[in-house]
Each structure stands twice: as C-alpha cells, then as structure tokens.
C-alpha cells in the first residue's frame, strides 16, 4: 500500500534553517502537502506543491520535490521558537478518492 516516511525528530538552533524530509511510495500522487500541528491543536495547512513542480517558495518556507526519487522536503529559513511543532507530510492518494496519506510527523525543537 501507499506509504509516507519521515524522520521523527529534528533539533535546530534559533536563527538556523530547518530541513524536514519526507519520502513516499505512490508515484502517481498529484498533490503533496505540509501540515503543522502545535501542542493540543489541530492541523494547520502550511503549503502544498503540485507534482509537476520542483520547488515552491512562500516567505520563509521552501518546498522541494524530487519526483524521480519520491522525496519531498520543507525548508524553514530563520527558524524561530514559534516554529516548534510537529510537521506532517501528506500525499494525496491517487487511487480515485481524495484521501491523504500522512507520515508519522517530524517533531521540530528549536532551542536558543
């Protein structure tokens, strides 16, 4: 079945860049998403990328997609303590229904 993998934990210093990586198996996926979850809160959509794009930039966020390797990354520039959260990679299932397949989430810890 479809699978999405993420590393579970990332620790960065405030002001540095963070790079969160994701790999997936469904090569027909059309849209790929990044969601942010803060403690006790629901999921907040951060950004998404269409599969025919290589890169998308939105302020401090840069999404890179390597479709050949089925690898997606999220780069956060100038990481702040408010960026501390769990980041979920999600891939739209291409099997006819619009369900998202999520990774287990990467916990980002930002320290001074």
Partner 1 sequence: GAGVSQSPSNKVTEKGKDVELRCDPISGHTALYWYRQSLGQGLEFLIYFQGNSAPDKSGLPSDRFSAERTGGSVSTLTIQRTQQEDSAVYLCASSLLSGNTDTQYFGPGTRLTVL
Task: Look up residue 26 and give its two tokens.
Answer: 């469904």
- C-alpha neighbours within 13 Å on the C-beta side of residue 106: 25
* Min separation Cβ 100 and partner 1, Å: 6
Of 17-25, 59-67, 69-77, 89-97, the window that binds partner 1 (rule: CB under 8 A) is: 89-97
- 112 is a contact residue toward partner 1 (CB under 8 A): no
- 31 is a contact residue toward partner 1 (CB under 8 A): yes
- 48 is a contact residue toward partner 1 (CB under 8 A): yes
Task: Look up residue 11 and give its two tokens.
Answer: 């620790």
CA 41 to mean position of chain CA atoms:
17
- 39 is a contact residue toward partner 1 (CB under 8 A): no
Alpha carbon dihedral 53, 75, 44, 5, in 10-degree steps, equals 80
The residue ranges that bind partner 1 (CB under 8 A) are 4, 30-31, 33, 35, 41-45, 48, 50, 88, 90, 92, 97-105
């Amino acid at each position: 079945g479809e699978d999405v993998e993420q590393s579970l934990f990332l620790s960065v210093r405030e002001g540095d860049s963070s790079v969160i990586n994701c790999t997936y198996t469904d090569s027909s996926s059309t849209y790929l998403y990044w969601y942010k979850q803060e403690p006790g809160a629901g999921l907040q959509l951060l950004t998404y990328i269409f599969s025919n794009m290589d890169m998308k930039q939105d302020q401090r966020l840069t999404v890179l997609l390597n479709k050949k390797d089925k690898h997606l990354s999220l780069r956060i520039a100038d990481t702040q303590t408010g960026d501390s959260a769990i980041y979920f990679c999600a891939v739209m299932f291409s099997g006819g229904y619009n369900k998202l397949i999520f990774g287990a989430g990467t916990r980002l810890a930002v320290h001074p």
